[in-house]
């Protein structure tokens, strides 16, 4: 027997429509590209989104068309998320840090009709213009007073809205209609497109809202201000543009100001309670906090993910009264898979014991299923010991890649689960430990060493500001671990001192054989340490026993 309940299609625009009414005073603060700080409520934003939708239709954008963005986190980018999907078109966010070659590939692969671009990134487009489709139109995300000088033929964003009605008769879309497109950064091979739908985006927003909403710190009057450092140009800023309006949280958009000093100032001025980003961003903020002698006054929560949060970083934040929520996910998961909200049994532990849990990748969100399998695909127990490749399933997980059957076939297993490429263990209470990306695990004498574990141990030494552990070729052991490190001060610890410091956590054979000091580590387009680049840079490296 079927239940007798209505079946309303899930739609992204309904989120903003709801927020405009029920959370209408909350909204978006933006550090604009030209330096000014602007504020608009969700109510005002919804009206502007209506105007933008009319503007898009006036440009000839049809349902199903791909509309690209190349922009910082700001209010106009947020408006595009809603207006584009609201008319049934697809918001294709492009990461400006991709290589020229990758950008040309994805704009052509997505067949974008229009690209909305921040003034900052116009020179990138100008350099690529000849290799992009001739019909591609360019809209600069600025008002009339801040339009940049350019030889390109461009439209003005505010010009698109001028004179348009703020009420838009939003079409009733099938909830499985595609709404957004984001390409992985493609560290190997061409980028692959994750094609989100209204249904997946709304369910993901509920998921983020239910898990993280209640855990978010509030100001005295109950308002919540969240600063997403994680970009709207990649993995939907971890779902915040959709989840924040539902829970009534305001967003503080940092625009181009992503360095520690700019973030500290904006957090301080705008009473930011919670901020989300990758570990490298927090290193910048922590350096600024040290300089200022205190944290931004209202900051009480940091969500960190994208790569493993070092234990030492979590500890520093926790000691200054900032709760760290360590999450894991990926582009193909919309992107959140797990969260680091702790159960009461962990919360009451002393700090060092609590950190044993906080440094793990959290527990799965409701709606995300996890399994680990061995090399033959056999399921492994969730006992905290068995290690295997991590597969995921859920309503906000991709079922394949956009126009890429070959990659789809490789990614989805016979039971319909998606292979993450991560190697993990899961304990009886559901805590996930990402041991490594499969391609970053170091294989020495037939045994695996986790590069994440090595980095964690090395970074707990006060002389190390940042580091990466990678495997280098060795004639006898196949691979041996070495560290590439950035020193925290003038005096660099010796290799022996580092090995002594790390020894408590490892068997002797697992310790690194060498340390190479560098001024900075190369980053990927998503702000993570790029081990691929490091391996390439160290192409001529000879192991001390070989050299």
How many Å apart are CA 319 and CA 290, to the nearest integer? 13
CA dihedral 362, 302, 33, 49 (to 10 degrees): 60
Tokens of 443: 């294989």
Q: At residue 341, what are phi and psi to the nearest 5 degrees?
A: -70, 130
Residue 421 or 522 having the CB closest to ligand ADP: 421
Q: Which range binds ligand ADP by CB under 6 A, 25-33, 85-93, 415-423, 480-488?
A: 415-423
Q: Does 331 bind ligand ADP (CB under 6 A)?
A: yes
* Residue 306 binding ligand ADP, by CB under 6 A: yes
Q: Verify whether residue 542 is a known catalytic residue.
A: no
**Count of C-beta atoms within a 10 Å radius of residue 210:** 15
Which one of residues 34, 146, 265, 437 is an interface residue with ligand ADP (CB under 6 A)?
A: 437
Interior angle at CA 72, CA 536 and CA 19, nearest 5: 130
Is 364 among the residues that bind ligand ADP (CB under 6 A)? no
CB 40 to ligand ADP: min, Å: 29
Question: How far is 507 from 511, CA to CA, in rounded Å?
Answer: 7
Q: Is 526 in the site for ligand ADP (CB under 6 A)?
A: yes
Smallest gap from residue 452 Cβ to ligand ADP (A): 6
By CB under 6 A, which span of 303-311, 312-320, 392-400, 483-491 interacts with ligand ADP?
303-311
Known active-site residue 448 = yes
* The only residue of 118, 288, 301, 422 in contact with ligand ADP, by rule CB under 6 A: 422
Beta bridge partners of 517: 485
Tokens of 99: 């290589």
DSSP H or E run through 538 = none
Active-site entry in 332, 389, 455, 479: 332
β partners of residue 90: 66
CB of 180 or CB of 329, closer to ligand ADP: 329
Q: Based on CB atoms, which residue is closest to ligand ADP, 83 or 258?
A: 258
Q: Residue 92 and residue 81: Cα distance in Å, rounded?
A: 9
Of 10 and 207, which CB lies nearer to ligand ADP in the complex structure? 207
Residue 179 in contact with ligand ADP, rule: CB under 6 A: no
Q: Say whether residue 307 binds ligand ADP (CB under 6 A).
A: yes
Binding of ligand ADP by 328 (CB under 6 A)? yes
Known catalytic residue at 184: yes
Comparing CB distances to ligand ADP, the nearer of 31 and 229 is: 229
SS3 of 8-45: the string is CCCCCHHHHHHHHHHCCCCEEEEECCCCCEEEEEHHHH
Of the residues 30, 33, 93, 184, only one is catalytic, namely 184
Within 8 A by CB and 6+ apart from 117, the residues are: 69, 70, 71, 125, 138, 139, 140, 141
Binding site for ligand ADP (CB under 6 A): 184-185, 235, 305-308, 326, 328-331, 335, 361, 420-422, 434, 437, 524, 526, 528
Catalytic residue positions? 184, 332, 443, 448
């Amino acid at each position: 027997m079927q239940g007798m309940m209505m079946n309303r299609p899930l739609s992204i625009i309904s989120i903003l429509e709801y927020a405009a009414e029920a959370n209408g005073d909350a909204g978006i603060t933006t550090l604009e590209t030209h330096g000014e700080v602007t504020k608009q409520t969700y109510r005002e934003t919804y009206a502007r989104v209506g105007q933008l939708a009319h503007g898009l239709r006036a440009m000839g954008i049809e349902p199903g068309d791909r509309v690209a963005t190349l922009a910082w986190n700001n209010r106009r980018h947020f408006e595009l998320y809603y207006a584009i999907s609201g008319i049934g078109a697809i918001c294709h966010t492009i990461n400006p840090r991709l290589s020229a070659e990758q950008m040309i590939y994805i704009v052509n692969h997505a067949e974008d009709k229009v690209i909305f671009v921040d003034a900052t990134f116009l020179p990138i487009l100008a350099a690529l213009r000849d290799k992009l489709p001739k019909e591609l139109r360019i809209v600069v995300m600025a008002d009339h007073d801040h339009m940049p000088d350019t030889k390109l033929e461009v439209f003005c964003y505010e010009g698109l809205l001028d004179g348009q009605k703020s009420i838009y008769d939003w079409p009733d879309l099938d909830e499985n209609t595609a709404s957004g497109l984001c390409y992985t950064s493609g560290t190997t091979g061409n980028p692959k497109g994750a094609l989100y739908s209204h249904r997946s985006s709304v369910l993901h927003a509920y998921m983020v809202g239910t898990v993280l909403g209640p855990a978010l710190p509030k100001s005295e009057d109950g308002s919540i201000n969240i600063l997403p450092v994680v970009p709207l140009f990649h993995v939907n800023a971890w779902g915040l543009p959709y989840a924040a309006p539902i829970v009534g949280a305001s967003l503080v958009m940092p625009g181009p100001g992503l360095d520690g000093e700019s973030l500290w100032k904006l957090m301080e001025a705008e009473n930011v309670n919670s901020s989300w980003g990758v570990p490298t961003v927090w290193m910048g903020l922590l350096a600024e906090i040290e300089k200022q002698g205190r944290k931004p006054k209202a900051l009480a929560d940091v969500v960190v993910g994208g790569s493993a949060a070092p234990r030492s970083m979590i500890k520093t934040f926790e000691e200054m009264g900032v709760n760290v929520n360590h999450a894991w996910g990926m582009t193909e998961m919309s992107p959140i898979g797990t969260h680091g909200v702790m159960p009461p049994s962990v919360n009451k532990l002393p700090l060092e014991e609590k950190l044993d849990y906080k440094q793990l990748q959290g527990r799965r969100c409701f709606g995300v299923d996890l399994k680990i399998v061995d090399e033959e695909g056999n399921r492994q127990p969730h006992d905290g010991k068995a290690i295997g490749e991590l597969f995921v399933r859920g309503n906000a997980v991709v079922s394949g890649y956009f126009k890429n059957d070959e990659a789809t076939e490789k990614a989805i297993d016979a039971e319909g689960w998606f292979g993450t490429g991560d190697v993990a263990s899961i304990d009886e209470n559901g805590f996930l430990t990402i041991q490594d990306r499969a391609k970053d695990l170091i294989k020495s004498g037939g045994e695996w060493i986790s590069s994440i574990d090595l980095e964690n141990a090395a970074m707990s030494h006060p002389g190390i500001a940042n580091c990466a552990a990678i495997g280098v070729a060795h004639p006898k052991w196949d691979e041996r671990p070495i560290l590439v490190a950035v020193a925290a001060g003038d005096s660099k610890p010796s290799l022996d001192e580092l090995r002594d410091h790390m020894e408590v956590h490892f068997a002797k054979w697992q310790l690194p054989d060498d340390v190479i000091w560098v001024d900075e580590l190369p980053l990927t387009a998503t702000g993570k340490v790029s081990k691929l680049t490091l391996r390439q840079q160290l192409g001529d490296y000879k192991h001390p026993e070989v050299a």
